[in-house]
Amino acid sequence: MNPNEFDVIIIGGGITGAGTQRDCAMRGLRTLLVERSDIATGATGRNHGLLHSGARYAVNDAESARECIEENMILRRIAAHCIDETDGLFITLPEDDLGYQQTFVEACQSAGINAEIIDPELARRLEPSVNPELIGAVKVPDGSVDPFRLCAANMLDAKLHGGQVRLYTEVTGFIREGDTVKGIHTRSRQTGEEVDYYAPVIVNAGGIWGHQIAEMAGVHVGMYPAKGALLIFAHRVNNVVINRCRKPSNADILVPGDTVCIIGTTSTRIPFEECNNVAVTPDEVTLLITEGAKLAPSLSSTRILRAYAGVRPLVSADNDPTGRNISRGIVCLDHEERDGLKGFVTITGGKLMTYRLMAEMATDTVCRKLGVDKSCETATTPLPGSEERSYEAVAQKIWEAPSTAQKAAAARMGTSALRIRGNNPYDDALICECEEVSVGEINSAIDRLEVSTLTDLRRRTRIGMGTCQGEFCACRAASLLAKAHGCVEKERADLANFLNERWKGNFPIGWGDTLREAEYTQWVYKHVLGL
């Protein structure tokens, strides 16, 4: 058997690609995933991290709403360690139409979402940071989800089922024979090595970049890049997701996540050329702060940690050249049926929330084409780390009296934290103090989760995501990476890249305490450490 031959190749290491690889691998297929950068670098890692109840879509898009609430309940079971079951509120402010509330609740209920009108006073007690002026509140089963962790867990499980993963590997072309796609040409962005891989089915899960991947294969998928900007605040201001009860608009969702909270988003159509380098403008920052403070007034005096933006992979309905008929729904295209191109499938549209369903649809298509008759089990099989639902129970199993740092590790890693159990007394030393990430957790990520760079490590462990934005943890972790990879020189450059990447999200909001922290960090690296 040629080691470069697989049953299915998946292009794209976002949540859709990782989920599809897991599903395919669990159904016994030999899988390869190729990703031009790291996992979760596109829209997967650049959103709110909201575990939608579906309520936001209930009025305008009943189908998406139903998909969301079903997946919401599934993810609570299979991805417990990636999820924070916070609940959510849809609040009505004096300037909003309270009449919308009834329409909203009815739409939720018909989509199967448990939406409950509560007294504004109760809402203030449930979430003390909420705008006290609110005149109406509806409670829904929203939550928050760590998309990096979710993506890494899917990739890990695919690997545990024999899947192979090539990160930093770019598809440079397709191998075609007549009307059939047989394989891909790839080039490693780290070593420059060029390798061809073969499979009877190739899945395009490239998110917004899926547009170009399809073009490369010779078919057209009409996509519309829509940029969304978000701000991360340095404290977890709210414990319950806060939404506005009105027609979805800009900056009307505030989501708590780990030690921070995130306000967003905006929606701006951008050209494809900008997708690789989206920047947040000062106007967007102002809009997000102003609108965010209407949800939780204390945001106006809370330090902002970062500004960032993602690109939604919106898809126009087929054969609609105007692009007016844009859907946020799932689009699974068998290009053999659609374009007469055999061996090529595109899975796109959708959202983080529905990744598992998208993966199931893509995998069903793959299996049908391969003549494999095996049913999907991803809705019931927990991801690695989520075998136990309570992180406190996990922490208790490992440590007799877990410290807050150990509890934090268990919350991030779930049952995978069992792997770092006290093999080495030095493993408890903290590398990142803001997020309480230990040596053991970092080494475990390096061992299991395909880490090339510090930025990859950040996506796996949250180092550098806290209030100091990587001030000290960056060079501590760089030492560990240098040791693991046996190369200091590369690590020096990696450290510089990491700091640059952190700065990119800091300077758009560079005032007050953020500027203080930046001055300190820049002074220390330049004049004290000599990077």
Partner 1 sequence: MKHNTVIIGGGLAGLVAGISLQQAGQETAIVSTGQNALHFFSGTFESLQEAPERMNTLFNEAGIRLQYSPGVRLMPLGTFRESALSLEDIGLFTTPKFARKVLIVNFMGYHDFFSSFLAEGLEKQGMQCRIRFLNLPEMDKLEQSPSEMRSVQIARTMDRIWEKVVQEVRVLLKDEDAVVLPQVFGLQDTAVPGRIRQGIPARVVFAGTLPPSVPGIRTQMLLKRRYEVLGGTYLMGDEALSSHVHEGVVHSIVTKNLDNHYLEADNFILATGGFFSKGLRSNPFEITEPVFGLDVVYDADRNAWYDKAFAADQPYMHYGVKTDESLHGIADGKPFKNLYAIGSILGGTRPELGSGAGLAIKSAFAAVDEILRRPAPQDDKGIRQDAKDASLVD
- Which of the residues 414 through 433 are near partner 1 (CB under 8 A)? 425-426, 428-431, 433
385: phi then psi, degrees, rounded to nearest 5: 110, -25
Residue 475 as a binder of partner 1 (CB under 8 A): the answer is: yes
Nearer to partner 1, 371 or 425 (CB): 425
Q: How many CB atoms lie within 10 A of CB 271?
A: 7
Nearer to partner 1, 177 or 283 (CB): 283
Q: How many CB atoms lie within 10 A of CB 85?
A: 13
Q: Among 405, 418, 419, 448, which residue interacts with partner 1 (rule: CB under 8 A)?
A: 405
Segment lying near partner 1 (by CB under 8 A), choices 141-149, 158-166, 330-338, 516-524: 516-524
Tokens of 336: 């053999």
Nearer to partner 1, 272 or 525 (CB): 525
Nearer to partner 1, 221 or 499 (CB): 499
C-alpha–C-alpha distance, residues 327 and 39, integer Å:
25
Q: Where are the beta strands (DSSP E) in 35-162?
A: 50-51, 83-84, 88-92, 116-118, 136-140, 143-145
Q: How far is the CB of 419 from partner 1 (least distance, A)?
A: 18
Q: Among 44, 302, 438, 443, which residue interacts with partner 1 (rule: CB under 8 A)?
A: 438
| Contacts with 8 (C-beta within 8 Å, 6 or more apart), sequence order | 24, 29, 30, 31, 32, 199, 200, 201, 202, 203, 366, 370
Do residues 42 and 352 lie in contact, with contact meaning Cβ atoms separated by under 8 Å? Answer: no
Tokens of 23: 């599903």
Residue 507 as a binder of partner 1 (CB under 8 A): the answer is: yes
| Contacts with 408 (C-beta within 8 Å, 6 or more apart), sequence order | 435, 436, 437
The dihedral region occupied by 215, where left means phi > 0, alpha psi between -120 and 50, and beta the remainder, is alpha
Nearer to partner 1, 278 or 430 (CB): 430
Classified as helix, coil or strand, 197 is strand
Nearer to partner 1, 125 or 516 (CB): 516
140: closest CA among 162, 160, 112, 166? 112
Residue 401 as a binder of partner 1 (CB under 8 A): the answer is: no
Nearer to partner 1, 137 or 478 (CB): 478
Q: How far is the CB of 388 from partner 1 (least distance, A)?
A: 24
**Which helix H or strand E contains 32, and what residues bound it?**
strand 31-34
C-alpha–C-alpha distance, residues 147 and 97, integer Å:
34
Do residues 279 and 309 lie in contact, with contact meaning Cβ atoms separated by under 8 Å? Answer: yes
Interface pattern 140-179 for partner 1 (x via CB under 8 A) = ----------------------------------------
Number of residues that bind partner 1 (CB under 8 A): 51
Bond into 453 cis (ω within 30) = no
349: closest CA among 148, 207, 154? 207
Residue 291 as a binder of partner 1 (CB under 8 A): the answer is: no
Segment lying near partner 1 (by CB under 8 A), choices 317-325, 345-353, 445-453, 517-525: 517-525
Nearer to partner 1, 379 or 531 (CB): 531
- Which of the residues 487 through 506 are near partner 1 (CB under 8 A)? 488-489, 491-492, 496, 499-500, 502-504
Q: How far is the CB of 290 from partner 1 (least distance, A)?
A: 12
Q: Among 28, 162, 282, 422, which residue interacts with partner 1 (rule: CB under 8 A)?
A: 282
- Which of the residues 78 through 137 are near partner 1 (CB under 8 A)? none
Q: How many CB atoms lie within 10 A of CB 127?
A: 27
Residue 295 as a binder of partner 1 (CB under 8 A): the answer is: no
Q: How far is the CB of 471 from partner 1 (least distance, A)?
A: 9
Question: Which residues bind to partner 1, rule: CB under 8 A?
Answer: 282, 285-286, 403, 405, 425-426, 428-431, 433, 438-439, 472, 475-476, 478-480, 482-483, 488-489, 491-492, 496, 499-500, 502-504, 507, 510-512, 515-517, 519-520, 522-531
